[in-house]
Amino acid sequence: MAGKSGRTISATPQGGIKEKIFSWEGALILLLIAVNIFGAVLSPNYNMTNILRESPRYLAEIFMLFGMAFILVLGDIDISVGSIVCLTATMGCLVSNKGMGVGAVILVCLGVGLLCGMLNGFVATKFTELPTMIITLGTQIIFRGIAEVALGDGGSASMTDIQSIGILRAKVGPVPLSFFIVIICAIIFITVLNKTTFGRKLYAIGSNRTTAYYTGIEVQRIRFFSFSMLGFLAGLCGLFLLASTYGANTTTGNGFEMEVIAMCVFGGIATTGGKGNIIGGFIAAFIIVCLRIAFGQINMNTQLILVIIGVMLIVSVLIPAVTNAINSRKKTKKA
Amino acid sequence: MGEDLILELKGITKIFPGVKALDNVQFQLRRGEVHALMGENGAGKSTFIKTITGVHQPEEGHIYFNGKEVSFKGTKDAQELGIAAVYQHPTSYPELTVTENIFIGHEIMKGGIIQWNEMNKEAEKLLGRLHANFKVTDEVGALTIAQQQMVEIAKALSTNAQVILLDEPTAALTANESQELYRIVDELHEEGVSIIFISHRMEDMYRLAQRVTVFRDSQYIGTYDVDGITEPELIKYMVGREITDMYPKPEVEIGEELFRLDNLSKMGFFKDVSLNVHAGEIVGLTGLVGAGRTETMEAVCGITKADSGKIILEGKELNIRRPKDAMKAGIILLPEDRQKQGLIMNWGLGTNVILPIQDELANNGFINNKKEWEIGKQYLEDVDTKAVTIFDPATSLSGGNQQKVVVAKALVQKNMKLVIMDEPTKGVDVGAKAEIYAIMGDLAKQGYGIILVSSEMAEVLGMSDRIYVMCKGRVTGCLDVEDASQEKILELAMEQSGKEVE
Ligand SMILES: Nc1ncnc2c1ncn2[C@@H]1O[C@H](COP(=O)(O)OP(=O)(O)OP(=O)(O)O)[C@@H](O)[C@H]1O
Ligand SMILES: [Mg+2]
């Protein structure tokens, strides 16, 4: 039965291909292409083989992008992941130096990462009134502190057995193993966020936590799960970093949290929660990686690279705000 | 004409993307009169108010103030002429104090320094004028809704407004608090302030206004003297048809006991609340704001947890720890605050409606768009929402239509046994109200139990089989509807038992 007035409401979605191309993701793909052309012009060594060879260190960082996207969509933030990477790589290295096999190293890295994530999740869900920025600032200091204690006076540890961990550096042709992991993660996480009711619950919590709670969504369980998941991915990152640098020191993973958050924000995921899409973050990650490799090849100062990425980040946040303002003005005029 | 008009609007047209919210409407406000503006949800009333205060700029039309044409680029322009408004959805800052809220945007300054003492004194004067019973240093978030409204009115007065616009000031108020508001309006009227107010309540209009203007479907229908118009006539102008039965309560065979509360208590909120609901019964729960009605119902639904007592559904005691447990058991809550608890405002209407049942509609966890759209459309139409598509964001709807979406969202849950509706018709127009009552009747007929939490006396008396009254966290009485009257309810609601919740 329709209402008394007999009004009907359309249920046909509007918008089509045009909207897709002119979306933020579309713009990012164009930018990715542009960055690659730019890289090729800038550096004679900028080609596929070299990019793939240099990529593992960056790819490991991208693992965390997926977990961070969940956390940001929830309206939370986790700035402890860099320290988790440090702690897991340290523990993995120490375990390996005790003479244990690669299986134990993998287990320790992933396990420690998961535990750290669970701790973040536990505190965040038990003390809901605390901002997660503060909670993870605390654990950031704690995790790195533990790693520093474990590393001892020298502040660094190197692996004595670099052979057995070699399986993590395995390649299919020129393509490193971590690349496949990134692709598989991307498929899984993008599908979950866009196509499943679980993904929508994340958006609901990030958009209006109170309404989500009143609607019967298990807000705290989902937040706990997401923090744990991100911790696990940070452990995975620590593991692969260990495999490509054969050791850990007190600066391992420094600043990773900010880089990962930057990738997400650049990709259109709002830190205020409830908005954005991993696809954008995923493309943005590759833009940043390609830029770094290109600038790295011409030996540009790393600080300068950070400045450039910082500027891009601010511009990327400004553009949608400005275009939105213009669009809404246009629309009101036209209608 | 010879009429002394302080404000006149002619040929106003306001367009939002895809909607003409105002279509060539006119309005005349005489100096010193109280003028009611009425019409269905989405008729354009709030939009009209916002064009007078400069929030919206109309596409066409002329505004005359004291006979001179003016145009408002922003809210400042209107403010300078002495026009102030209290909007439908509060715009106050809950973390700031009363003084800060009152003077935000026009602080008293001397040489670039904010004069706190002077502002506090000024604020105290304003509150005194309104006979407010709270302090200027209180945080606004800690006040009741009625008190927050007083702050907004004080804010309007602080600009020395000549014209005050009130958008549904009584929607969130109980009968008693409405009396307070009436008194304030009366006093302003005596001081010569010209007032436009919007309300869906007939009694407000009869009590306060000299004239009433009706809008329907974005158009101006007419302006009438309140003395010369009957209620059915007015409803016909507003709705475009006649409403024969405002409270369509069907004859229902009341079944067995469905739900019972035994001595439910929560420190500081409610104590020893016992009540029961039978299958097919509509039970009213009323009292003054702050009586603990909402808090009790939130404990039943797992939003908060009671300290002690039993919640019993169909003879079995429930252990409800979170909202999901209550929903699984079949207890559905329609929350009080549509914007903060009911909806995700920037989401589409359809998704909002199906959110509670999205898991049931999904295929192994994957969203089933087709099914969702179909059901969303159906339920939104059932409650007669005024919207273009189910993808419109909730922000684009008028207040009353947002409320209808909340109702649809509650109804969509199929495995319900007990439905708790907290102020389900807040801000809803007469036509749609009758519609929501019809839905309630339907639910009762199907054997569900219903608890209607409401401050609106007419609705409680019109729809309930039995009425529980709460006061200061306790149930002070239960009346059969045949024996109930407004006086009896008020007596129970204000009973000075002397016992506060400890
Ligand atoms: N910001 C907006 N964007 C798009 N459409 C809007 C916006 N604000 C209002 N509308 C539309 O304009 C119309 C009039 O809305 P308005 O809020 O003025 O109604 P109202 O008469 O105040 O209703 P109610 O009694 O429910 O408060 C509605 O159809 C509404 O959907
Ligand atoms: Mg309105």
B101-134 confidence digits (pLDDT tens): 888 877 888 888 888 888 899 899 888 888 888 8
pLDDT at B496 over 60: no
- A215 closest CB neighbour out of B346, B355, B362: B355
Q: What is the pLDDT of residue A233?
A: 97
Angle at B50 between CA B208 and CA B20, to 5 degrees: 110
Residue A274: which of A76, A130, A120 has the closest Cα? Answer: A76
Which CB contacts under 8 angstroms, 24+ apart, belong to B17-24? B17/A331, B17/A332, B17/A335, B18/A335, B18/B388, B19/A335, B19/B388, B19/B396, B20/B218, B21/B47, B21/B218, B22/B47, B22/B48, B22/B51, B22/B58, B22/B218, B23/B217, B23/B218, B23/B219, B24/B60, B24/B61, B24/B219, B24/B220
Residue A327 lies in a domain: no
Beta bridge partners of B334: B421
What residues pack around ion ligand 2 (CB closer than 5 A)? B 46, 88, 398-399
Bridge-based pairing of strands B68-70 and B60-65 is: antiparallel
A324 vs B contacts (CB less than 8 Å): none
Burial tier of A271 (Cβ tally within 10 Å: 0-12, 13-18, 19+): middle
Measured CA to CA, the distance from residue B477 to residue B43 in angstroms comes to 40
CB contact under 8 A, A3 and B359: no
In B168-229, where do the E strands start and end?
194-198, 211-216, 219-225
Measured CA to CA, the distance from residue B283 to residue B481 in angstroms comes to 10
A261 contacts A270 by C-beta, under 8 angstroms = no
Ligand index nearest the alpha carbon of residue B396: 1
Q: What is the pLDDT of residues A275-289, one digit of tens each?
A: 888 998 999 999 988
Residue B162: which of B198, B204, B119, B192 has the closest Cα? Answer: B192
CB atoms within 10 A of CB A333: 9
pLDDT at B31 over 90: yes
Q: What is the pLDDT of residue A329?
A: 61
pLDDT at B499 over 60: no
Q: Which CATH architecture has domain B5-239?
A: 3-Layer(aba) Sandwich (3.40)
Measured CA to CA, the distance from residue B448 to residue B421 in angstroms comes to 13
B293 contacts B262 by C-beta, under 8 angstroms = no
Atom of ligand 1 nearest to the CA of B45: 21
Q: What is the pLDDT of residue A9?
A: 85
User: How confident is the prediction for chain B on average, in pLDDT?
Assistant: 89
pLDDT at B273 over 90: yes
Q: What is the pLDDT of residues B367-410, one digit of tens each?
A: 999 999 999 999 999 888 888 899 999 999 988 899 999 999 99
pLDDT at A333 over 60: no
Measured CA to CA, the distance from residue B460 to residue B439 in angstroms comes to 15
Residue B342 amino acid letter: G
Ligand 1 pocket, residue B51 CB under 6 Å: no
Ligand 2 centroid to residue A80 C-alpha, Å:
46
Measured CA to CA, the distance from residue A100 to residue A109 in angstroms comes to 13
Q: What is the pLDDT of residues A229-257, one digit of tens each?
A: 999 999 999 999 999 888 899 989 988 99
Burial A25-58 (b: 16+ CB within 10 A, else e): bebbbebbeebbeebeeebeebeeeebbebbbeb
Confidence of residue B272 (pLDDT cuts 50, 70, 90): very high
Q: In angstroms, what CA-CA distances link B264 with A306, B274, B311, B475, B479?
A: 60, 7, 8, 11, 20
Residue A12 lies in a domain: no
Q: What is the pLDDT of residue B501?
A: 46
CATH node for B243-330+416-502: 3.40.50.300
Q: What is the pLDDT of residue B150?
A: 85
Residue A31 lies in a domain: yes
B6 contacts B68 by C-beta, under 8 angstroms = no
User: For A304-327, what is the mean pLDDT?
Assistant: 78
B356 contacts B324 by C-beta, under 8 angstroms = no
- A331 closest CB neighbour out of B17, B374, B391: B17
Q: What is the pLDDT of residues A46-84, one digit of tens each?
A: 888 888 888 888 899 999 999 999 999 999 999 999 999
CB contact under 8 A, A14 and B356: no
Confidence of residue A335 (pLDDT cuts 50, 70, 90): very low
Residue A4 lies in a domain: no
Could you tell me what percentage of chain B is helix, strand and coil, using 3-state DSSP and rounding each to the nearest 5? 35, 25, 35
pLDDT at A296 over 60: yes
| ipTM confidence score | 0.87
**Domain extents for chain B?**
5-239, 243-330+416-502, 343-414
Ligand 2 centroid to residue B49 C-alpha, Å:
9
CA B275 to chain centre: 26
Q: What is the pLDDT of residues A137-177, one digit of tens each?
A: 999 999 999 999 999 888 889 888 878 888 888 888 888 99
User: For B350-365, what is the mean pLDDT?
Assistant: 94
What is the secondary structure of A205-222 as a DSSP string?
HHH-HHHHHHTT--HHHH
Bridge-based pairing of strands B211-216 and B219-225 is: antiparallel
Measured CA to CA, the distance from residue A22 to residue A228 in angstroms comes to 35
Domain total in chain A: 1
Q: Is A194 helix (H, G, I), strand (E, B) or coil?
A: helix
Atom of ligand 1 nearest to the CA of B49: 18
CB atoms within 10 A of CB A23: 16
What is the secondary structure of B75-117 as a DSSP string?
HHHHHHHTEEEE-SS----TTSBHHHHHHTTS--EETTEE-HH
Q: What is the pLDDT of residue B502?
A: 43
Q: What is the pLDDT of residue A1?
A: 42
pLDDT at A2 over 50: no
Is there a common fold for B5-239 and B243-330+416-502? yes
A3 contacts B382 by C-beta, under 8 angstroms = yes
Q: What is the pLDDT of residue A5?
A: 60
pLDDT at B460 over 70: yes
Tokens of B87: 């909007």
Measured CA to CA, the distance from residue A193 to residue A199 in angstroms comes to 4
Q: What is the pLDDT of residue B285?
A: 95
- B344 closest CB neighbour out of A2, A5, A207: A207
Tokens of A63: 């693992």
The nearest alpha carbon in chain A to B325 belongs to A216
User: For B206-227, what is the mean pLDDT?
Assistant: 93
Pairs across A and B, CB distance < 8 A: 111
Query: Residue B382 belongs to what H/E stretch?
Result: helix B369-382
Measured CA to CA, the distance from residue B460 to residue B465 in angstroms comes to 9
User: For B346-351, what is the mean pLDDT?
Assistant: 94
User: For residue A110, what are the domain limits?
Assistant: 17-322
Bridge-based pairing of strands B219-225 and B68-70 is: unpaired
Ligand index nearest the alpha carbon of residue B346: 1
Q: At what angle do helices A197-207 and A177-195 cross, to 10 degrees?
A: 70
Bridge-based pairing of strands A156-158 and A247-249 is: antiparallel
Q: In angstroms, what CA-CA distances link A283 with A31, A117, A188?
A: 9, 25, 16
Diameter of chain B measured on Cα atoms: 74
Q: What is the pLDDT of residue B498?
A: 47
Where do we find the tokens 């600066």?
A: A251
CA A211 to chain centre: 27
Distance in Å, alpha carbon of B427 to nearest chain A alpha carbon: 18
Q: What is the pLDDT of residues A100-119, one digit of tens each?
A: 889 999 999 999 999 999 99
B443 contacts B282 by C-beta, under 8 angstroms = no
B390 vs A contacts (CB less than 8 Å): 9-11
Confidence of residue B79 (pLDDT cuts 50, 70, 90): confident
**For position A100, which CATH number holds?**
1.10.3470
User: How confident is the prediction for chain A on average, in pLDDT?
Assistant: 88
What Rg do the C-alpha atoms of chain B give, in angstroms?
23
Q: What is the pLDDT of residue B465?
A: 94
Ligand 1 centroid to residue A8 C-alpha, Å:
17
Residue A110 lies in a domain: yes
Confidence of residue B417 (pLDDT cuts 50, 70, 90): very high
Q: What is the pLDDT of residues B461-473, one digit of tens each?
A: 999 999 999 988 9
Ligand 1 pocket, residue B5 CB under 6 Å: no
pLDDT at B432 over 60: yes
Residue spans of alpha helices (H) in A74-208: 81-97, 102-126, 132-151, 177-195, 197-207
Percentage with pLDDT > 70 across chain A: 92
Residue B343: which of A220, A204, A73, A9 has the closest Cα? Answer: A204
Where do we find the tokens 């006093």?
A: B187
Q: What is the pLDDT of residue A21?
A: 59
Ligand 2 centroid to residue B87 C-alpha, Å:
8
Residue B170 backbone dihedrals phi, psi, to 5 degrees: -100, -5
